[in-house]
Amino acid sequence: MSSEPAEQALARVRIGGRTQRLEWRAGVITVIEPVAGPADWLALPLPVDPHVHLDKTHIISRCAPQATGLFAAIEAQHADMARWDGADIRHRAGLALEEAWRNGFRALRSHVDWTTPEAPLAWSVLGELAVEWRDRIVIQRAALCPLDLIGDPDAGPGIASAVARMPGAVLGAFVYRNEGLDEKLDRVFALADHHDLTLDFHVDEGLEPEAQGFDTIVSLAARYRMAGRVLCGHACALAVRPHDAVARVLEQAAKAGVGLTVLPTTNAWLQDAQPGRTPRLRGLAPLHEARAAGMDVLLGADNVADPFFPYGSYDALDIHRQAVIAAHLDPAEWVDAITTLPARWLGQEPGLPEIGARADFMLIRAPDWPGVLQNPRAERRVFRAGSDISTSL
Ligand SMILES: [Zn+2]
């Protein structure tokens, strides 16, 4: 337990773009008031990650892929899955959650590979972990089914009912140039509509302009009136399609209330990857354009220490930094992509520091966002209910 005093104060913290005095007492913020001069610390809400894979995390040491790219990574993972018993999944996901906790996360959505009509073991193991961690991190599960399985009229309905029985669980599919893609996606939307489920897709994760599952999802989201309940992860192919077509579909996506999750580390690692050749394309969906069109654009860690991305961490600031550099983002303007926006999409409070709110926030020893980006080793402190839970980060 922490031995923090009940009352604490910091004289100069940057909150909401200005320097402020911040005080909290018994775990609740009591004072935020402007003061003159530069800040010593920058404060941000505790982050939320909308897209991780706790079932496959931390397997890289035993299944390095034999080639570069997405499909070699899938093969390497499948070879490892024979080892995925309850103890193994629990151990690896537990390591991830400990790290996420230290780095300040308050909620995560984890996709879970679901490749047979029956629920995978990882689904129930992560369900147990969600209960064990519920007072620390909200863990949502999203079924990641091949579209050919969840869009199959024989298998899909059973899977959707199983997902719907779990409160807060989400339905999803891996969509990439499938045969009969439109009909299969229509069935997925009909199942979501029937069970009142939220949808979260892995879609068009490649650099072939013919991959246009995103467009079908956007029109179905409009037709089924699912604004705010359909997230598209990846959508890398939008990066290589003609400008006018992309502008059109992004506008439709904004109108339909579809959100976009960009996964900067995994996309940069897997896209345009060939041995001995420097990648020319970064695999990022056009996130500036999506946001300008009115879409919510979120950032996620995606893969950590698995064949899809052998490195990485459960650290929202690392993901933010990678995205800022790779996509020329303004760091202050895009901090919502790791905080308030994913919070809203996961049904959580925005978590902004304000008077009367729980004293949950992260502090970074820098006067402003340029200062944060200039110093990757700047001290960080994570406060939960007013107590500093930081360890050496
Ligand atoms: Zn993913």
Closest C-alpha among 322, 308, 309, 212 to residue 262: 322
Residue 161 Cα to ligand 1 midpoint, Å, equals 23
List C-alpha distances in Å: 101 to 44, 89, 96, 319, 372. Answer: 16, 18, 9, 16, 21
Residue 319 Cα to ligand 1 midpoint, Å, equals 14
Predicted confidence at residue 7, as pLDDT, reads: 72
- 216, 297, 274, 146: CA torsion to nearest 10: -40
Residues in the chain: 393
pTM over 0.75? The answer is yes
Profile the chain (393 residues) by mean pLDDT over runs of 10 residues: 68 95 96 96 97 98 92 93 97 98 97 97 98 97 98 98 95 97 98 98 96 98 98 98 97 98 96 94 96 98 97 97 97 98 97 95 97 96 92 46
Predicted confidence at residue 391, as pLDDT, reads: 54
Q: Which domains does the chain have, with CATH numbers?
A: 7-45+352-388 (2.30.40.10), 48-345 (3.20.20.140)
Answer whether 322's CB lies under 8 Å from 7's CB: no
Residue 145 Cα to ligand 1 midpoint, Å, equals 12
Residue 52 Cα to ligand 1 midpoint, Å, equals 6
Predicted confidence at residue 5, as pLDDT, reads: 64
* 205 given a catalytic annotation: yes
Residue 202 Cα to ligand 1 midpoint, Å, equals 6
Six-digit token string for 369: 């966002």
Residue 53 Cα to ligand 1 midpoint, Å, equals 6
- Given 205, 210, 333, 349, which residue is catalytic? 205
Residue 340 Cα to ligand 1 midpoint, Å, equals 20
Residue 7 Cα to ligand 1 midpoint, Å, equals 41
Residue 268 Cα to ligand 1 midpoint, Å, equals 13
Answer whether 331's CB lies under 8 Å from 373's CB: yes
Distance CA 281, CA 37 (A): 42
Predicted confidence at residue 4, as pLDDT, reads: 57
Closest C-alpha among 353, 348, 382, 349 to residue 365: 382
Ligand 1 (ion): which residues have CB within 5 A?
302
Answer whether 73's CB lies under 8 Å from 308's CB: yes
Neighbours of 76 (CB within 10 A): 20
Residue 111 Cα to ligand 1 midpoint, Å, equals 7
Residue 275 Cα to ligand 1 midpoint, Å, equals 23
Residue 339 Cα to ligand 1 midpoint, Å, equals 19
Give the angle 77-79-82 at the CA atoms, nearest 5°: 105
